[in-house]
Chains A and B, each alone.
Chain A
Amino acid sequence: MRIRKGKGNTMKQPMKKYFSAALCLFALSTMLFASACSNTGGADSGGDGAVDVVMWGWGEEWGFAFEAYMEAEAPDVNFEYVAVDGDEYVQKLQAAVSAGTRLPDIAALEMDSRGQLMSLGIFENLESPPYGLDRSEIMDFLIPLCTNSEGQVVGVETQPAPGGLAYRRELAKEYLGTDDPSELESKLQTWDDFIALGKEVKEKSGGKVYMFASIDEAAFILTSQNSQPFVTEDGKSNLTAALKGGFETTKEMYDAGIVDVLGDQTPAWNASLSGGEHIFYACPTWYPFYVIEPNDPEGIGQWGIISPPGGGYNMGGTLFGIPSEAGTEASRLEAWKFIKWLTLSEAGAEWIRDNWDSASSYKPIYSDPGFFEGQVNPYFEMNLPEAFLRISQDVTTRPITKYDTIVVDELMPQGYRDIEAGKSVDEIMAGLEKSFKEQAGDLKG
């Protein structure tokens, strides 16, 4: 009996094992299938007939803007805001494209990485149907920043970032003789004037007070005032034409001892904003809220903003684009309706003015001189959007290219450090040109 039972067991044991293994395999494949299903494309609608619109962003204020749009226009959409770290944005987008998972209907393209992204051909041409963007409605200086190498407008700036110079009023009064913005602008018409006045400040203060806190700011402003592209249309390096002049003036300032040596945006630099030893700082539209006020909370009414010698420049900014493979045609269209409302409509311009204390990309609205009337910022005790709008009138911008990340993040900082190290500008440019050709392998010369 025992033996037979045993024999019976030996017959059944493998069957049980195979059955368990088969069950495990079935469970595993069901799980894989289920997870695959949940990732393919995402739902087009929430089941209530409304279209799902997905936005990826790193600033929750964009989500608030969409909520405001829904309140104002009552579109039939389900909105989903996905917070993505700004530093990992491009990687996440790339991973989603490779894996074929749902892309956002509204993608945010930050200035540093937008050149790379725009060159990939993954964004909708907003001038073509069904979008029908009219580029004449966009402020002129923003058009090169929204246009890819094929001349297509693939996004619209959410908050234009023309830059001026912020200055500490008490230092300007003490060392430059006035804190009135128009008087200061007339004193500082050229960078030569700036350097000459800087030398006087240095002398008066015994070398304690500087015109700029870091070399990076001075060089960035000076090189950004030049709209020469980094690369020519036939794919050759144009770095020297784009950067050399700016570096020469920066070096002149540095050698004159009117620029301090603080690392840009380091704690020492942040502390300098309330330290009272540096008169001027670069100041695009987002600096007052994200840089100046948080670092100098006691400085109410202590800051003024002027147009720099040589005119305004652009510093940063983020545009909204629509990936061609995102969601469905309906969701992309709904995304466009929101983008148009926020960036290219009177209602959006009013919302941006009232909520972000800033200007939108919508050019026609600025023909009304009273649009920003009464908009006084309590910290700066001045009308910021109006000041920046005035500065933006003479801003010129260079075309966006896929090489921008290499030039702005790798080569320009090397140039700044080389100036500090005392190298000549010719030497610096030779090094940068060499590095550029190494890093951008497809340059034609």
Chain B
Amino acid sequence: MKEKSARNIIITPATNSRKPRRGNKPGKRNRYAIFFLAPYIAGVLVFWILPILFTFAISFTKWDGFNAMQFIGIENYKHLFLEDGRFFKSLFNTVVIMGLSIPVTLVLALIFAYILSGKALYAKRFLQLGVFLPYIMTPVAVGIIFALLFDQHYGFVNRILMYLHIIQSPLPWLGNEWLARITLAIALIWMYCGYQMILLMSGMSMISEDVYDAARIDGANTRQVFFRITLPLLKGVLVFVVITSLIGGFQLFDEPLLLFNSSLSGKFPIGGPDNAALTMSLFFYNESYTNFNFGYGAAISYMMFVVIALISFVSMKIMDRGDRL
């Protein structure tokens, strides 16, 4: 009883003690808030919420963008799941390309960040710039460079590999299903390694020197410092890098499009040989803006949203659990 009444005494004044302050009356404050937020809310409604709802609505129609929409119920979703093998293939391709590129990029970025953060390193800035430079290169240029490098007959890569007797005959880097995915993954690693390195370096710079000093006084060697101090304290940045890489991976578009459809690569279907590099975004783009199936494209985009949300949620949960452990 005593406890109960004590609890009442604490709670009651707290809730009742909120007196409206001058100029802060809830009604008036809300009016101002609504007034000042209105343009932003209108923008979000018009450019964000409405398109999302409109896209959902047209995913149940057959619409070419020229003629009137035709309501077809769940036909687009049925075709997507049951008849069109490209959906699962594009999902598979996206996951495989991400699986090939993200871990390697992350490990390389971590190594570069650790090495290039070293204080006594000669030409540190120059080397940092060298690793970062590919990131600021336009995907068009990357597509052209890699199409040239990996050309089966005239590409530099095959020539080097043959010169070193690693291969006997030129490999069809852009013409074979798995080699095409590997080529794309190499291009992505090359492009994004520098960006991830910068993020990790900024994370490393936030770790206090005191921690390192303490570790060294305790007799920790370089390997131990890296695995016991640097890596655990970088977790926040690593989570950010992994999540953004996963989301970026599902939005992979420019690189495969330009690698297999540049003037240097010769003619391929939009998704490369046997659609080996047809990512989900590319699939959506091709259906919507090349074949003018806006209804079907909308259904693809909704499924993309579901997949991205699901994977982001799962990966955040896994990392969150790791944090608690």
B265 within 8 A of A: yes
Q: Do A116 and B292 touch (CB < 8 A)?
A: yes
Interface residues on A, range: 35 or more
A335 within 8 A of B: no
A136 within 8 A of B: no
Collect the chain B residues with CB atoms within 8 Å of residue A435's CB.
275
A21 nearest CB neighbor, chain B only: B35
Q: List 17 A-B contacts (CB under 8 A).
A: A90-B292, A94-B292, A98-B66, A116-B291, A116-B292, A121-B67, A122-B67, A214-B266, A263-B151, A263-B266, A265-B263, A265-B267, A268-B154, A416-B267, A417-B175, A421-B176, A431-B274
Minimum CB–CB distance from A236 to chain B (whole Å) comes to: 16
Minimum CB–CB distance from B247 to chain A (whole Å) comes to: 26
Q: Do B66 and A266 touch (CB < 8 A)?
A: no
Q: Do B263 and A266 touch (CB < 8 A)?
A: yes
Collect the chain B residues with CB atoms within 8 Å of residue A97's CB.
65-66
Interface of B, helix, strand, loop or mixed by DSSP: loop
Q: How far is the CA of A262 from the CA of B152 in the complex (A)?
A: 10
A415 nearest CB neighbor, chain B only: B269
A441 within 8 A of B: yes
Q: Which of A76-102 contact B (CB under 8 A)?
A: 90-91, 94, 97-98
Number of chain B residues whose Cβ lies closer than 8 Å to a Cβ of chain A: 34
Q: Do A438 and B86 touch (CB < 8 A)?
A: yes
Chain A interface (Cβ within 8 Å of chain B)?
21, 90-91, 94, 97-98, 116, 120-122, 214, 216, 261-268, 405-406, 409-411, 413-414, 416-417, 420-421, 431, 434-435, 437-439, 441
Minimum CB–CB distance from B143 to chain A (whole Å) comes to: 13
B290 within 8 A of A: yes
Q: Which 3 A-B pairs have the closest CB atoms?
A: A263-B266, A413-B267, A94-B65
Q: Do A267 and B85 touch (CB < 8 A)?
A: no
Binary flags per residue of B54-91, CB closer than 8 Å to A gives 1, else 0: 00000000001111000000000001000111100000
Contact of A439 among B86, B152, B264 (CB under 8 A): B86
Minimum CB–CB distance from A358 to chain B (whole Å) comes to: 25
Collect the chain A residues with CB atoms within 8 Å of residue B267's CB.
216, 263-265, 413, 416
Q: How far is the CA of A122 from the CA of B292 in the complex (A)?
A: 14
Minimum CB–CB distance from B119 to chain A (whole Å) comes to: 46
Q: Do A122 and B273 touch (CB < 8 A)?
A: no
Q: Which of B139-165 contact A (CB under 8 A)?
A: 151-154
A263-B266, A264-B266 known; A405+B65 contact, CB < 8 A: no
B43 within 8 A of A: no
Q: How far is the CA of A421 from the CA of B171 in the complex (A)?
A: 11
Q: Do A410 and B269 touch (CB < 8 A)?
A: yes
Q: How far is the CA of A271 from the CA of B293 in the complex (A)?
A: 38
B296 within 8 A of A: yes
Collect the chain B residues with CB atoms within 8 Å of residue A264's CB.
266-267
